[in-house]
Amino acid sequence: MTRHDDILAAIGNTPLVGLPSMSPKAGVRLWAKLEGNNPTGSTKDRIALAMVEAAEAAGALTPQKTILEPTSGNTGISLAMVARRKGYHLTVVLPDNASQERLGLLRLFGAEIVFSDGDKGTNGSIEVARALAEDPAYYMPFQYGNPANPKAHEEGTGREIVADLPEVTHFVAGMGTGGTLTGAGRALHAHDPSVRVVAAEPELGDLVYGLRSLDEGFIPPIFDPSEVNRKFLVRSDDALRATRELTSKEGIFAGISSGAVIHVAQRIAAEVEEGDVVCLLADGGWKYLSTEAWAEDLATAEKQVSESLWW
């Protein structure tokens, strides 16, 4: 269906496309779930709408309240779009090293921005937001602990993959809030318990922002580790190289966290002889054009990756 009554109805049902040049073996097919095709350009549109509508249904969110959320960028942008469409005010807590495109989009949709220390990443944003949330004027969906997050991926992302590729053998997504892995994992395991759900997780201390190392000490409450069969650690330079290769070989312009997912999928493909590996590409690359991630000089790009937010 391509006709919708409003922009919110256009969320989800994103394309699943083959990546014939990215697999090291002919018998292993890689597929990309293009979440950048959502209205604001990321998978976070799914959970933003789900969390707001769940809060409305429960009576927790009323027109008198301001939505408050800690974010590394994309969830805030998605909430800003949903809030603007539904008539709510929004305050986001964002690390101060977010890209200019993210800041511009948040302001365009009318969000108020509170900055946190970029060196603390999303953990710093969570600390600041929790302190602000003591004010009853705010309603904080809190993507890291909201069951509507994994539910959106169970009922949306996971079921879409099953419908488009019932023979799926592996699903790879980045470890962020844990909502995508948990929710899509539930749908995929309900379809076929043998499907392997795999997390791409950054090396401890290595910044692939938006991705989270569980060894940092904060485990999102919504994350269900029983749905994840395996995890791979990824360095930021590996994520960057895979992202650039995705553009040069397949013509797909995706964010750096997507490169981490592709890198893991290629490692899986090297281990098995046959399979269909679905890669969740969380966003497009458009929000990062002000950075040097696609600089001709790889060293310049690698330096940029270590200093910027990628989700």
User: pLDDT value at position 214?
Assistant: 55
**How far apart are the C-alpha atoms of 206 and 239, rounded to whole Å?**
11
Asked if 7-42+147-305 and 44-139 have one fold, the answer is: yes
pLDDT 10s digits, 78-114 = 999 999 999 999 999 998 888 888 899 999 999 999 9
Q: What is the pLDDT of residue 209?
A: 46
Cα angle, residue 292 at apex, residues 288 and 296 outer, rounded to 5°: 125
Q: Is the pLDDT of residue 188 over 80?
A: yes
Q: Which residue has the higher pLDDT, 214 or 63?
A: 63
Identify whether 257 is a catalytic site residue. yes
Give me the mean pLDDT over the 147-153 stretch: 98
Rounded distance between C-alpha atoms, residue 179 and residue 162, angstroms: 18
SS (H, E, C) 171-194: EEEECCCCHHHHHHHHHHHHHCCC
Local structure of 112: helix, strand or coil: strand
Assigned token pair, 184 = 């899509």
Q: Which pLDDT score, from 0 to 100, does residue 311 have?
A: 43
Q: How does DSSP classify residue 38?
A: S
Q: What per-residue confidence (pLDDT) applies to 236?
A: 84
Pick the CATH number of 44-139 from 1.20.1630.10, 3.30.420.40, 3.40.50.1100, 3.40.50.720: 3.40.50.1100
Catalytic-role residue among 23, 33, 44, 287: 44
pLDDT band at residue 298 using 50, 70 and 90 as cut-offs = low
Contact 265, 172 (CB under 8 A): yes
From the candidates 72, 257, 258, 308, which is the catalytic residue? Answer: 257
Ordered by start, the domain boundaries in the chain are 7-42+147-305, 44-139
What pLDDT, on the 0 to 100 scale, is given for residue 204? 60
Residue 309 has pLDDT above 80, yes or no: no
CATH number at 7-42+147-305: 3.40.50.1100
pLDDT in tens, 9-31: 999 999 999 999 999 999 999 99
Average pLDDT of span 128-152 = 97
Give the whole-angstrom CA distance, residue 194 versus residue 59: 39
- 86 a catalytic residue: no
Instruction: Provide the pairing of β-strand 28-34 with 16-18.
Output: antiparallel
Asked if 162 and 52 touch (Cβ cutoff 8 Å), the reply is no
In this predicted structure, the answer to whether residue 217 has a pLDDT above a threshold of 80 is no
Q: Which phi and psi angles does 16 have, rounded to 5°?
A: -115, 115
If pLDDT is split at 50, 70 and 90, which confidence band does 310 have? very low
